[in-house]
Amino acid sequence: MAPPKQEPIHRNTLGMINIDPLQTGGRLPKVARETLMEWADGYSICDYCTGRLDKIATPPVRDFIHGELPDFLGMDEVRVTNGAREAKFIVMHSLCKPGDKVVVDANAHYTTFLCAERCEAEAVIVPSSGRPDYRVDPSGYNEAIDEADPELAVLTWPDGKYGNLADAKEVARICRDKGVPLLLNGAYAVGRMPVDGNRIGCSFISASGHKSMASSGPIGLLGASGEYADLVFRTSKTYDKKEVELLGCTARGSTLMTMMASFPHVLERVGNWGAEVEKARWFSSRMEEMGMVQMGQKPHNHDLMFFETPPFYEISKTAKGGRYFLYRELKKRGIHGIKPGLTKFFKLSTFGVPEGDLEKVLNAFSEMIRSNG
Ligand SMILES: *Cc1c(COP(=O)(O)O)cnc(C)c1O
């Protein structure tokens, strides 16, 4: 019997201007797209495997994981994981027993709390200053650690809500003084901006390939300092080559190949971070001229920005389609990335978006305000 005819499943946002914070740092350069096709078959990476992913010499996975990545992160040992959340879970599961405590910043990603829950550990929160800055003061770690006596501290750097970069070095100093390892969650940092674990002084770094390293996910990284590497990357008692927390092998296919193919591009763009910050600040000031209010650190230090948008909320009260008007108007203009239904506030990212495209976004906003004002 002939197989049923089937059309490819199409993606209808391709070609649009994309300002979705989840997506701006995960787009593949051309060479990575080609690599993806070449390695698309399942387990394609395992042709010459001798028992462990990070030891594969052909393709050059070993050199990438044991050579380039430790240099890149400033950490003694690095492994690939299936995402930032998996990296965080590996750390927590290695360090925490049920009932233990983990100190976490108030702006932490939901997956940090889920990791703790899965380990049956309790998350103790370091508060933020609240609206409008939502700043996490390093001294909060002092108090939280004294109070909770935790096995681990986590700093989200930057956080995924406001794009705030807390003083990581100072948080690391406090944690070190108190003998508590610090996990720096760099899901929105590693692959966008320079991150040097050595200089910061953290014990772990988690990273997200599909969010910030131009990789076709799911893929992430876990970096560990020498002091903790043996613990988190410990090998099995029954299968002595296999690392237990990694369940032997993690990103075993095309996802890793795209990360490797994109790496030169990632190195280059990290060197261009200063210009990305300038662009974000310029965009923020143009938004504020229109009556939006940027939350979080100001001037801002990251491309992820949260805006309160009172002009759009006003329009939504009478607009056709109510609060969905904004999404629809943007879609009409070929702009993607603001969540449908939001008008009081939203976040967006300017990372890697050409200035001309950002100008189009700003013009779209200003047109909507003018034609409804
Ligand atoms: C996106 C994000 C994550 C999750 O990353 P995955 O690689 O998809 O697991 C974790 N933490 C923060 C702060 C994030 O923004």
The pLDDT of residue 107 is above 70: yes
Give the integer Cα–Cα distance in Å for 275 and 226: 34
Ligand 1 atom nearest to 160, measured from its CA: 15
Mean pLDDT of the chain: 97
Domain segments of the chain: what residues?
Answer: 29-269, 272-371
CATH dotted code for 29-269: 3.40.640.10
| pLDDT reading at 347 higher than 70 | yes
Secondary structure (3-state) at 356 = helix
Ligand 1 centre to CA of 198 (Å) is 22
pLDDT tens-digit series, residues 280-309: 999 999 999 999 999 999 999 999 999 999
Class of domain 272-371: alpha beta
Q: Please state, in angstroms and rounded to a whole number, the distance separating the CA atoms of residues 310 and 327.
A: 16
Q: Tell whether the model's pLDDT for residue 263 goes beyond 70.
A: yes
Q: What angle do CA 278, 264, 335 make, to 5 degrees?
A: 50
pLDDT of residue 373: 63
**DSSP codes joined into one string, 167-233:** -HHHHHHHHHHHT--EEEE-TTTBTTB---HHHHT-SEEEEEHHHHSS--SS-EEEEE-HHHHHHHT
pLDDT tens digit sequence for 348-358 = 999 999 999 99
Q: Compute the distance from residue 156 Cα to the ligand 1 centre, in Å.
A: 10
Instruction: Write the burial class of residue 271 (CB in 10 Å: 0-12 exposed, 13-18 middle, 19+ buried).
Output: exposed
91 membership: H or E segment, kind and range: helix 84-95
Count of Cβ atoms closer than 10 Å to residue 265 Cβ? 17
Q: Which atom of ligand 1 is nearest to the CA of 208?
A: 7
Q: Give how far Cα 289 sits from Cα of 283, 292, 362, Å.
A: 10, 7, 11
Whether 158 is in the pocket of ligand 1, judged by its Cβ within 6 Å, is no
Instruction: In whole angstroms, give the CA distance from residue 187 to residue 190.
Output: 6
CA dihedral 50, 51, 54, 56 (to 10 degrees): 20
**The amino acid at 173:** R
Query: Does the predicted model carry a pTM greater than 0.95?
Result: yes
Tell me, in angstroms, the distance from the centre of ligand 1 to residue 68's CA.
22
Please indicate whether residue 189, judged by its CB atom, sits closer than 6 Å to ligand 1.
Answer: no
Which residue carries 């380990």 as its tokens? 119
